[in-house]
Structure 1
Amino acid sequence: MNKMSMESVDIVAKNIEKIGELFPNCITEMLDEKKSTPENKVYKKAVNFDLLKQMLSGEVIDGDEAYEFNWVGKKAAIVEANKPIRKTLRPCLEESVNWDTTENLYIEGDNLEVLKLLQESYLGKVKMIYIDPPYNTGNDFIYRDDFSQSVEDYNDQSGVYDEEGDRLFKNTDSNGRFHSDWCSMMYSRLVLARNLLSKDGVIFISIDDKEVANLIKICDEILGQDNFQGMFVINASPSAIDYGCIAKMHEYALMYSKNSLQVKCYQLTEEDKKFDYKDELGEFIIYPLYNGNVAFNPQTRPNLFYPFYLNPNHMLDDNFYEIGLEPKEGWIEVWPVISKKDGIQRVWRWGKEEKARKNLNKEIVGYKNREGEYRIVQKYRSDKKTIRSLLVDKCFSSRRGTAEVQELFGRKVFSFPKPTELLQQFVESGTSSDDIVLDFFSGSASSAQAIMNLNAKDQGKRKYIMVQLPEPCDENSEAYKSGYKNICEIGKERIRRAGRKIKEESPLTTQDLDVGFRVFKLDDTNMQDVYYSAGDYSQGMLPMLESNIKPDRTDLDLLFGCLLEWGLPLSLPYSSETIEGCTVHNYNDGDLIACFDENIPDSVIKEIAKKQPIRAVFRDSSFVNSPSKINVGEIFKLLAPDTRVKVI
């Protein structure tokens, strides 16, 4: 039982906790001089004010970077994550599948910039993120997979030489140049990705041994050490790859949560699970009722240390014996076992009154093992299991991932994609049936196929957002020879083919399966660069200033640009209609209604207002003059006073 403090609230500690919720990377620890003694040092949470100032600044702040984990360019990575951009996502209907009905997204572009654009629309809405970033191996696959700096660039940024070229101090960190760029690349993206995770969300990150140590430190800063859920060891190369002293077989995947107190994870379904026994309630297997963790013992859990009593003369069936909690003549006393390894007395997993008594001879029974010893066992009926940290089956190997792509395309168009079974287990563990999954290093879109597979299996409605830079394929590669000029073309085609395959294999159960996706492409802003001071205007600029919107942009470009700014998801239903010759766009049945035509008559404005949308958007040039624009405001005040009206 905790003692009352009998003192006022520690406001500083409370404020530090609040800062930690917003900026976990700015929380460090320091010696608590008031509570520490020479024999017992006590630490407390503290704020790294230099890092906090940098998080709140749009410019690189001068001064030494004193946080425990540091590299050249770390402050610049923070600035880069926080820096606004003038970009947009342009819809591409011709490359999409089932545009009108799908809730999935495929976005082409630099993932750092895409993550910035998604900050409003998907803030706190993504249940799970999976990424398979470049491993920084130096190998030139389809990705630019080497983020090392040149010695000259590293020395210049780290201040090894002065302006005259003289060495300033001994360079004892020469290996840092092979990691700094990679760390910066990951840091800025994970800062943004964390914002998108829901409070109960999780992130899985695949990695190998070259950068796993650095990745853990980065994730500990950004997501918080307390949110580290664990590390998976994956048998990626069962036949082993010889790297000299060690033939390498495995890779890793890290799992972090957004908030360890609110995280929700789910068990996997074991389709081939075999049950040894059966009763009137169904099939089951048995587990010992004692707790296998020796940290739980009579000293630490005295309430879980008590005897059962077993009747050796009364069997409930051919396998199990009657048990009770009170002694009776002829009954045998049964205690939790003593650990053979270290001699520690174990305790039960269930409390005596609250659980054990209610389930006597129903879900817990007596049992005699092969050695003739009596035990108390629990009937376990579930076909579920918690995901394992050691994933050794061949279905998790890179070779299996390659075979899956080859099966879809008829040739090897992508090297070392992750196998769908691995990603399917991650998704099943990290999401429920209606969640959003984000992969911003989507590669060949293995995760999209895994999500479709899982939805087909459990009738789920999970949605995905794939983000991939359109990296060019090598002209000598099988992919290029097959007509795929960049990775995005491979990813989109894989989703198309995988969707068709899933539906063909299970036509009766996949009729409602969403195998479509809306394609968006990162591009410069829809708006003209017309921000000049009066003295900067010239006669040649006048034609350009006739419209503040770029001439190659469509109504849909403008509509989805407005959705991003207003923070609406990009996957909701969309429709359009013509009213008196004007095209009126309706997004999600009135979440936003827009009309971008010129000279919109008042009658059309009134028809839009009568629909009472939550938001309405028009072009600035939709109105002849300022009085017309004022009149629009008056119409909405009269017919739809709660509608927020904006112009672009």
Structure 2
Amino acid sequence: MPEKAFSVCIKDSVFIDPPYNTGSDGFVYNDNFNFTIEELATKLSIDEEDAKRILDLTKRGSASHSAWLMFMYPRLLLAKDLLTNDGVIFISIDDNECHNLKLLCDDVFLEENFVAELTWEKKKKGSYLANDITNIKESIVVYSRNKLSFNGLIGEINTNEETYPCINASNGRDVRHIPAGIMSKYREKNFTMKAGEIISDTTMNLVLKSDLVIKDGILVQNLDIEGNWRYGQDAMAEYAKKGELYITQDLYLRRIVNEPRYKGLKDLLLRLGENEESGYSYSFDANNLQASGWGSNEDADEEQRILFGEQGLMTYPKPVLLMMKLLTSVRDERMTICDFFSGSGTTAEAVMRLNANRNKHRFIMIQLPEDLDKSYVSASGDEKKRIKKLVNYLDSNNRVHKLDQLGIERIIRAAKMIKEENPDTTADLGFKHYTLEEPNRTTLDKLEKFVPEDQGMVLTNDILTDFGTQTVLTTWLVRDGYGFNADVKAIDFEGYIGYYIDKHLYLIDANITDAAIAAIVDKYEMDGNFNAENVVIFGYSFIWTKTEELKTNLARLKDTEKNLRINFDIRY
């Protein structure tokens, strides 16, 4: 099974490694068909003008290109919606679709939000085929949600003390006022030079507009001096005040710099770094990402062998180090990282390893639960052997034959390994597994009877039976913006459990009693900290009479001291 391309969403950051466009029959996502403008507009719920623009991004008649773009377009739109204003998305891609991907991203994220096209050296050596170039690289296309808010990708942070010249020969000439009191490193401790004299070397000169007077290595009177200055007057005055300005041994002016200096990430991510260090490691200098290598497919194979005890479970895997360094380049210690095509869970392991030190990132890994048995039947050759190997591995670990199960196994094993390597870490290395499901019956299918004189309709409760209260609650918490780790409080209302957080009270289970309704009203009236303005009711669990009873009793609160107006939201 090939490790899929990735995307990350930063601040929230999106990291996607989308499936590359092979046009092969074994691709679990259909990429081998063409669309008309009308068909594409219908499938993506967009107008025909937008559909035409998508299809125009590729050559006319190229079915595989068009289908791949159709596959990517809605996912990129979703990724954009997930990104915070200062967020960023990384997309790994090969040569087949790199040009089309950039055009697509220009359309979705806008051309002005393009950050970089990084080139990653993925192999030590490629396959040697007579008529082909040896391919050892992949591209990582990077876009921000809003480049004006994005702080860029930082490859190096210099914290050592350095000195910078205060003049720049290419700048215009002007006069700067230098206050007395700055230090002098001129060879003579006591020295005077008269106004009008010139301090010069072969490329630039300074003209004294007042006397330069140095006593005991200190400038003892204010100095006006003309030159091609790098810094404005306000900056020079501030540097002098902070003791960062001094006269050099050649009578020029320099600035002492102690605060961190940031250099942008280089767009070439080499397997071996500047120090000729390979990428097979989980440690690196965060202040100089280019010093060591960025990892390779070979390194990732070895990571699999160590973690799983097997090699070749996924082909062309991404190394953990690559992900760790890319995330580090964003220079934010608290992000939510989303991977749309998480494969074996490389991104999750990278996030946990960063968190084991000092970061506080969260990850959301999304993976289609690909049926490996079905994939095995349609595969052939080496791919068939790899899928069989993966199926056998899942069997040996008592897991079903779904691709997402490998990612779950990796997260568990990686968390254990990280804890053993970092026994003092306080990082949360746990995770929750969610499955996206849709009920297999419509609301009308659940209608048992409708008798108006018997106060309405009664619905069966199969959704709770099939999925459970916690599934419904989690779905609503995410929908209402509280996220997967919301600190929701379970409250006992005379034997009936409701769930409260912030401005929401969720009532999900069936068989609410009159005593429970009375207890809910009492909670509003007696507890000054309880102010749920929204009561969310699971419609399948409530008959009409109980819903009306609850509404009637809570309506009284608008006439009380709290003056609350309760919004009722009945959901199915």
TM-score, scaled relative to structure 2? 0.68
Which residue is 2:342 aligned to? 442
Offset at residue 488 of structure 1 (A) = 0.7
- Pair 599,144 (structure 1): closer, same or farther in 2 beyond 3 Å: closer
Which residue is 2:518 aligned to? 603
What percentage of aligned pairs have identical amino acids? 25
Q: Among residues 489, 493, 497, which one is paired with 2:413 in the alignment? A: 497
Deviation string for 1:179-226 (max 9, x for gaps)?
111010011111122112111111111111110000000000011001
Distance of 2:123 and 2:191 partners within structure 1: 49
Deviation string for 1:573-610 (max 9, x for gaps)?
24435443323334x46644334131332234335545
The one-letter code of the counterpart of 1:314 is R
Contact 2:490 2:499 (C-alpha < 8 Å) held by counterparts: yes
- Pair 157,262 (structure 1): closer, same or farther in 2 beyond 3 Å: closer
Is 1:414 matched up with 2:292? no
Secondary structure in 2 aligned to 1:254? strand
- Pair 647,155 (structure 1): closer, same or farther in 2 beyond 3 Å: closer
Aligned residues: 465
Q: Among residues 206, 209, 234, which one is paired with 1:354 in the alignment? A: 234
Distance of 1:632 and 1:355 partners within structure 2: 66
Q: Any gaps of 5 or more consecutive residues in structure 1?
A: 1-110, 116-123, 159-171, 276-282, 292-296, 317-321, 338-346, 538-543
The residue correspondences of 1:230-241 to structure 2 (distance < 5 A) are 230-241=116-127
Secondary structure in 1 aligned to 2:139? strand
- Pair 125,241 (structure 1): closer, same or farther in 2 beyond 3 Å: closer
Distance of 2:321 and 2:445 partners within structure 1: 52
Q: Any gaps of 5 or more consecutive residues in structure 2?
A: 41-57, 206-226, 272-277, 280-294, 377-384, 451-456
Distance of 1:444 and 1:207 partners within structure 2: 18
The one-letter code of the counterpart of 1:144 is V
Q: Among residues 494, 500, 522, which one is paired with 1:580 in the alignment? A: 494
The one-letter code of the counterpart of 1:351 is Y
Which residue is 1:382 aligned to? 260
Which residue is 1:425 aligned to? 325
Which residue is 2:89 aligned to? 203
Secondary structure in 1 aligned to 2:28? coil
- Pair 190,621 (structure 1): closer, same or farther in 2 beyond 3 Å: closer
Which residue is 1:213 aligned to? 99
Contact 2:297 2:319 (C-alpha < 8 Å) held by counterparts: yes
- Pair 324,181 (structure 1): closer, same or farther in 2 beyond 3 Å: farther
Which residue is 1:594 aligned to? 507
Which residue is 2:404 aligned to? 488
Secondary structure in 2 aligned to 1:214? helix
- Pair 557,494 (structure 1): closer, same or farther in 2 beyond 3 Å: same
Offset at residue 407 of structure 1 (A) = 1.6
Higher relative contact order (CA 8 A, sep 6+): 1
Distance of 2:230 and 2:60 partners within structure 1: 56
Distance of 1:325 and 1:494 partners within structure 2: 72
Which residue is 2:535 aligned to? 616
Distance of 2:552 and 2:194 partners within structure 1: 81
The residue correspondences of 1:250-265 to structure 2 (distance < 5 A) are 250-265=137-152
Distance of 1:140 and 1:366 partners within structure 2: 72
- Pair 335,647 (structure 1): closer, same or farther in 2 beyond 3 Å: same
Distance of 1:179 and 1:198 partners within structure 2: 30
Which residue is 1:129 aligned to? 14
Q: Which has the larger radius of gyration?
A: 2
Q: Pairwise CA RMSD of aligned residues?
A: 4.5
The one-letter code of the counterpart of 1:267 is I
The residue correspondences of 1:357-376 to structure 2 (distance < 5 A) are 358-359=238-239, 363=244
The one-letter code of the counterpart of 2:433 is V
Secondary structure in 2 aligned to 1:576? strand
Contact 2:155 2:266 (C-alpha < 8 Å) held by counterparts: no
Distance of 2:191 and 2:482 partners within structure 1: 60
Which residue is 1:631 aligned to? 549
Offset at residue 285 of structure 1 (A) = 4.7
Is 1:469 matched up with 2:384? no
The one-letter code of the counterpart of 1:225 is E
Offset at residue 377 of structure 1 (A) = 7.4
Contact 2:166 2:231 (C-alpha < 8 Å) held by counterparts: no
Distance of 1:354 and 1:578 partners within structure 2: 64
Q: Among residues 489, 495, 517, which one is paired with 2:431 in the alignment? A: 517
- Pair 303,132 (structure 1): closer, same or farther in 2 beyond 3 Å: farther
Secondary structure in 1 aligned to 2:299? helix
Secondary structure in 1 aligned to 2:122? coil
Range with bigger deviation, 525-534 or 417-426: 525-534
Distance of 1:248 and 1:324 partners within structure 2: 66
Distance of 2:541 and 2:245 partners within structure 1: 74
Offset at residue 433 of structure 1 (A) = 2.4
Q: Among residues 551, 555, 569, which one is paired with 1:646 in the alignment? A: 569
Distance of 1:622 and 1:533 partners within structure 2: 12
- Pair 424,175 (structure 1): closer, same or farther in 2 beyond 3 Å: farther
Distance of 1:515 and 1:414 partners within structure 2: 23
